[in-house]
A = this chain, B = another copy of it.
Amino acid sequence: MVDPNLDDIVSFERKKPDVYGNAHPKNLLRSIMEDGECLETIANQHIYSADQFDQQTLLQLFRLAAKYEANPDRFSASLRGQILISAFYEPSTRTRLSFESAWHRLGGDIMSITDRSTTGIAKGESLADVAEMFNNYGDCVVLRESNESSVKEMMDSLRIPIINAGNGLDEHPTQALSDLYTIFKWRPELAQASPEHPIDICIIGLPAKMRTVRSLLKLIAKFSTAFNSVTILANDTEENIFSAGQKEQLLASGLTVNVSQSFSDSVANADVIYINAITWEGDTFQEYGSQFKLDAKTKLKTDAIILHPLARGEELCASLDHTPHNWYFAQARGAVFLRQALLTCLVRRTQRVLDII
């Protein structure tokens, strides 16, 4: 028999807020002055490491991302006729769909590789030869590979840009760009030259072994004006916590770096808590940090926000989803617009989406 509640079950309301928190990008858009030339420097680069970006380029990227996010239906044809090769030799539905959505939103076409076992690489083909193939078939490559060195090997032979979408434990620069973009949307004044209230960020886990954190710390080092301090919350020795040069880069930029084992203190004093339970061991993932769990009862500053690159495990309780601390959904949503901005620059279509005065 027909379920009497069927009407309620099947109805949905598209007008519900897309994100929690005041995540609309319009204030960020206003707080950064447009400088298109800055973005053109990206057009000659592969995106390999967070270290490639300077402060000005980052701000302009965030501005363009905010522009897309504020006008999601406006630039739907800027990549028409362009082909993305979406090569996920290490499977990742979430990251793949985020990139592919960004590309499609701009009107481009996509060819996906989602199964390494059937590729030439699995049969011994060199990465240089694969790169040569990509040169002929597409206009841009997004690569996810467990092997750290693969992206670099391909870069040697590519005449089209490649984006490192996660290479082993090394880096995941576009994730870090999305993370910082989220923080700036939350507090647009941090984009100013001398913000009145720089923030404290607490990162849970081992920066040495978390590629999203590795890339994020490199970006934070470019914004010592916006950050007061970086606290690493981890039950381990400094030797295991940091990789070579990692802490030094933060200190050299003028940031205060703390290491703490006290969960409650660290999260209670932070403006931004960055959590992720995944670390790299050898060539695969391990869970990390089941001793550090955030839920709705965790004592946080009233206006603190939580970031998480997702997918999540037990470390981030769903009880937080409907609180104003939840900016991880806004972070996931913003990643599409950030990637739209980056992709537009890479394939030299920037002029199509900038205001020409």
Contact = CB atoms under 8 A, between A and B. Distances in A.
A282 interface: no
Contacts of A249: 1-2
Interface string A104-132: 11010111111100111001111011001
A319 to B, nearest CB: 12
Contacts of A262: none
Given A10-B45, A133-B332, A125 B311 contact: yes
Given A81-B76, A118-B93, A10 B48 contact: yes
- Copies of this chain held together in the complex: 3
Contact of A332 (B113, B136, B318): B136
Contacts of A333: 135-136
Interface residues of A, number: 80
B313 A124 contact: yes
Interface stretch (A154-162, A197-205, A291-299): A154-162
Interface stretch (A28-36, A56-64, A94-102, A227-235): A94-102
A189 B23 CA distance: 55
Interface in A1-58: 1-3, 6-7, 9-14, 16, 18, 44-49, 51-52
A143 B44 CA distance: 38
Nearest to A16: B159
9 contacts: A2-B51, A12-B45, A91-B118, A101-B138, A114-B118, A125-B311, A132-B329, A133-B310, A136-B336
Interface of A: 1-3, 6-7, 9-14, 16, 18, 44-49, 51-52, 73, 76, 80-81, 83, 85, 91, 93-94, 97-98, 100-101, 104-105, 107, 109-115, 118-120, 123-126, 128-129, 132-133, 135-138, 152, 155, 158-161, 218, 245, 248-249, 252, 310-313, 318, 329, 332-333, 335-336
